[in-house]
Structure 1
Amino acid sequence: MAELTGRIALVTGAGQGVGRGIALALASRGAAVALAGRTVGKVEAVADEIRSRAGEAHAFSCDVTDPDSIAALVGAVVDEFGGLSILVNNAQTTVNGALLDVSEDEYGAVMDSGPRATWRLMRTCHPHLKGGGAIVNLGSAAGVRWDPSGYGVYAAAKEGIRSLTRAAACEWARDGIRVNAVLPLASSPALEQWSQERPDEAGDHLRTVPLGRFGDPEDDIGAAVVFLCGDDSRFITGHSLPVDGGQVLMR
């Protein structure tokens, strides 16, 4: 299927894990993809992977905590592709720990790379997305779990992103821009590290997933993002979609 043919997508944090999977899924459905990340080698490798599948992709260096870097990224993407149709805010620094243990610098790094970067990127891309664009932001089940102990700062960042998602959806509907969020549960380097560091907790976590597995970054998470960016979801905006095998009950 090529339901995104003619669309131009920008994916941050696209060098590995969920970001890579989303980029691959978008490209497989016909979108030209701009892959942004701090480590150029990683996003270049994903761009090569997309091109090996006969897709169109270019890699860009960007530090999403730097407003000048964001402005340069969006300008370069528009210059390279001639426009912008889709923004996926995936990049996020992750710091876990009890509230009394997280440092000021760690807290700032999580917030700067999460809600602040999401806000900046949405605002910078807004003029290019008017008239039919789509934004998908990455939330997390950590923000809606009954006990976020040990994950409070990360959960706060992701809930901030969900609030920004809803506000942008309402404010920019008149501009023809749809804004949604996904809450993924997927195999990734971060999840693998967590599983190694806290194997008992990871095992308990997996047992709470009705479908009994973690999602695939491309075939599960990426497919959901493709849906939210395509015409089949044209009447969906301001929504938070868990893509987690049935684990989360949203209220």
Structure 2
Amino acid sequence: MGVLTGRVALVTGAGQGVGRGIARALAAEGARLAIVGRTSQKIEDVAAEIRSEGGEAHAFTCDVLIPEQIEQLVTDVVEHFGSLSILVNNAQSTVHGELLDLSEMEYFRGMESGPLATWRLMRASHPHMRGHGTVVNLGSAAGVRWNPSGYGGYAAAKEAIRVLTRTAACEWAADGIRVNAILPLANSPALEDWAKINPEESAEYMTTIPLGRLGDSETDIGPAVVFLCSESSRYITGHSLPVDGGQVLMR
């Protein structure tokens, strides 16, 4: 029996990276998982991993840029599992480049895949989560660092998500729904490739992390989400929790 036994969790962008790690951590604590992503093979593989380890998981294909797919996703998840009590908004298109170099299409893609998709998923899930719901949205240190040069579009999208988080925490408290955010720093294939190409810059970046390493998606980031979805955090809502080895040190 895990701390989330009996709960149904929907995790977007769960086919790889942070989303996969969070999904596996939730499943290890007994949650039944809706593994959501655009690429069917990736999410099927993650769902199969969880089932092979004794958990319950089902893959749902969804492009969070398409509103109709979001509505259908939530309907399908509730029909399959019978309920929905945890929502993790992880999916997000990255937006890189200085502000004068960003195209409007790139900027809008970041906003549509980030705060707009997050809001749509929260809105669609709300009726099913009354009285027992927890939402965890993913922000980023990019939005709170003193100098977000080179990724301002991404930072703007992530800060909008944190505003939605605080607002929903206040507006939905009476509905029995808690809403929090995490700001994760985790290793990934993309970061590993970047480090190989830019070893000096990578070494300098590591000096900004007091604990001296990048987090593991499943064993470092996942447990923080488990905590925010469990009864141990029942008096916490509207909070942004950095899970980043001490890099941000938010005030």
Q: Quote the offset at 1:5 in angstroms.
A: 0.2
Q: Structure 1 119/190 Cα, relative in aligned 2: closer, same or farther at 3 Å?
A: farther
Q: Which moved more, 1:170-179 or 1:187-196?
A: 187-196
Q: Quote the offset at 1:195 in angstroms.
A: 3.1
Aligned to 1:185: 185
Pair 1:76 & 2:76 matched = yes
Aligned to 2:116: 116
Q: CA RMSD in A?
A: 1.1
Q: Give the Cα–Cα distance (whole angstroms) in 2 for the partners of residues 101 and 30 of structure 1.
A: 46
Aligned to 1:53: 53
Deviation per residue, 1:136-182 (Å, 9 max, x gap): 00000000001100010000000000000000000000000000000
Q: Quote the offset at 1:108 in angstroms.
A: 1.0
Q: Any stretches of 5+ residues in structure 2 without a counterpart?
A: none
Aligned to 1:142: 142
Q: Taking every aligned residue pair, what percent have the same amino acid on both sides? A: 70
Q: Give the Cα–Cα distance (whole angstroms) in 2 for the partners of residues 201 and 161 of structure 1.
A: 29
Aligned to 1:4: 4
* 2:105 partner amino acid: D
TM-score (norm 2): 0.97
Aligned to 2:169: 169
Q: Quote the offset at 1:196 in angstroms.
A: 4.6
Aligned to 1:67: 67
Q: Which moved more, 1:202-211 or 1:59-68?
A: 202-211
Q: Quote the offset at 1:86 in angstroms.
A: 0.0
Q: Give the Cα–Cα distance (whole angstroms) in 1 for the partners of residues 88 and 107 of structure 2.
A: 23
Q: Quote the offset at 1:198 in angstroms.
A: 4.4
Q: Quote the offset at 1:249 in angstroms.
A: 1.7
Aligned to 2:160: 160
Pair 1:35 & 2:22 matched = no
Q: Quote the offset at 1:199 in angstroms.
A: 4.0
Aligned to 1:195: 195
Q: Structure 1 173/194 Cα, relative in aligned 2: closer, same or farther at 3 Å?
A: farther
Q: Give the Cα–Cα distance (whole angstroms) in 1 for the partners of residues 140 and 36 of structure 2.
A: 21
Q: Quote the offset at 1:125 in angstroms.
A: 0.2
* 1:72 partner amino acid: Q
Deviation per residue, 1:57-108 (Å, 9 max, x gap): 0000000011000001000000000010100000000021111111111111
5 Å-filtered alignment, 1:81-100, equals 81-100=81-100
* 1:130 partner amino acid: R
Deviation per residue, 1:12-34 (Å, 9 max, x gap): 00000000000000000000000
5 Å-filtered alignment, 1:233-248, equals 233-248=233-248
Q: Quote the offset at 1:189 in angstroms.
A: 3.2
Q: Any stretches of 5+ residues in structure 1 without a counterpart?
A: none
* 2:46 partner amino acid: V
